[in-house]
A and B are shown apart, each in its own frame.
Chain A
């Protein structure tokens, strides 16, 4: 049973560019959440997707957007990159909206973004 998979694992961008990160949830999961983990910090919630809609959003600007596909996979897009966007981006999947919600997240290994 494959867990949560993310791609790419590492990438380098320059300020002003755009980036797309991808996530495939654990088999059987229906909800995908994205977190940003800056160096030396705990993960911070960006947004959550269920049934191809953004359901909850953290305190992140509109430069951060996402998408969920019919197969439950998800993308995180960041436009107009800033140096401060350098971080580990973690995708987490869960089974939430089918009545089995215990809050347990399964995390991928992350995509490490460096903005120069």
Chain B
């Protein structure tokens, strides 16, 4: 079975600062990895995905994530936070292309002026 651990239920940054949201996964087979963002009272929007191609994945809104097999990690970063980045972020893992995702508990990103 696969699992996802997101370290930190809340992360606070200042506008313009580096954003780093941590995700570690457990999977018995090569994983597919995803980051989703959820704004208040909305569904989930895909930020980026890793599907065994390049280990550094670029997504929307300036986010990127690096797959590190040796560390079983897939941390999400953004060089400079914007106020509009304040939302909840979910890391998820899948072991096939059949769309059943296992999500982490989420990390709430707070951005202060």
Contacts and interface: CB of A to CB of B under 8 A. Distances in A.
Interface stretch (A13-21, A36-44, A64-72, A73-81): A36-44
A24 interface: no
B61 interface: no
Interface string B3-36: 0100000000000000000000000000010101
Interface string A4-25: 1000000000000000000000
Interface string A29-49: 001010000001111110010
A103 B43 contact: no
A90 interface: yes
A108 B43 contact: yes
Contacts of B92: 42
Range, interface on chain B? 20 to 34
B44 A90 contact: yes
A58 B2 CA distance: 13
Range, interface on chain A? 20 to 34
Given A102-B51, A103-B94, A42 B103 contact: yes
A94 to B, nearest CB: 4
Interface of B: 4, 32, 34, 36, 41-46, 49, 51, 90, 92, 94, 96-106
Interface of A: 4, 31, 33, 40-45, 48, 55-56, 58, 90, 92, 94, 96-97, 101-110
17 contacts: A33-B100, A42-B4, A42-B103, A45-B101, A48-B98, A48-B99, A48-B100, A90-B43, A96-B98, A101-B99, A103-B34, A103-B94, A103-B98, A103-B99, A107-B43, A108-B43, A110-B43
